[in-house]
Amino acid sequence: MDVSPEHLVAQARERFDLQDYYGAIHLLEEVVASGRAFADAHHLLGLSYSLAGQQEQALAHLDRALALNARYVEALVHRAIVLNELGREAEADAAFRRAAQVGGESRQGLPAHVAAKLANQHAALGDAYCEAGALAQAIDQYHAALALGPAFHDLRYKLGRMLLQAGRALDAREHFEIIVRARPNYLDAAAMLGLACYLGGDGLGAKQVWEACRDRRPEDPRVEAYLAMLARNDTGAAAAGAGELAPSTVPPDHPTPPAAKGRGGKRKKP
């Protein structure tokens, strides 16, 4: 069974809270190996390595977290601590100064670290709404989260998936395009961009996105399934009225999309 990266990270946080740092490392390394790790996963992995006494490994993952989100205050602070433990005092001081600078900046009138915390709280509330079946309210909470943390692409990815579930393919496409522009190597987001194109009626756009994904990750069976689905159409233009995708074409950690809809929510005729 394909376990979602979000679920693995949640399990890793539980192991971390129990001070089972090696258990957290094992789970997080699985997320990293899948190519689906966001800044939060790298940060937690770096912190786990640090507490396990492996400072060089910790530094590598904290650097990766900051490469994905240069304004990640907690990662900057923990990087400074690791650098200090490695005897690299000058670099540690620079990292502390950068953390203080970023933490003092404001976002929507709030200090950056407060805005980031509130963004994650909005996302947690959105998850609770989603689990309760209140998808519209969940989407609203994720929009609020991204207003506070526009660079939090893990939250944007979740929002895109929710929008697909709600039949808002064009809105989802906009969010996946933002992620792909910011993180061109994040192929899961690219695959979902293709799905949003398909469900929004742009079969040619979906084909181009998925073929690019296949070139970069030829072993991905999901992309092959999507392309096979397109191949069953004569031109791909019939994608706009294709109706529901068969559940087998969507991997377990992706939502089973509803019928293809545009912004108006009406099914297009073939």
How far the first Cα of the chain sits from its last, in Å, is: 35
Q: Helix, strand, or coil here: 106?
A: strand
For the chain, which domains are there? 5-104 (1.25.40.10), 106-151 (no CATH), 160-270 (1.25.40)
Mean pLDDT of residues grouped by 10 in the chain (270 residues)?
A: 72 90 93 81 92 93 88 85 90 84 65 80 92 94 90 90 94 94 84 92 91 85 84 53 40 42 40
Token pair 């293809």 in the structure block, residue: 260
pLDDT of residue 106: 58
Give every CB contact of residue 24 below 8 A, 6+ residues apart in sequence.
12, 13, 15, 16, 44, 45, 48
Note whether 83 and 55 are within 8 A (CB): no
CA distance 270 to 254: 26
CA distance 246 to 268: 18
pLDDT of residue 260: 39
pLDDT of residue 74: 83
Token pair 């540690």 in the structure block, residue: 92
Give every CB contact of residue 225 below 8 A, 6+ residues apart in sequence.
248, 249
pLDDT of residue 235: 47
Task: Tell me the residue type at 211.
Answer: E
pTM of the model: 0.58
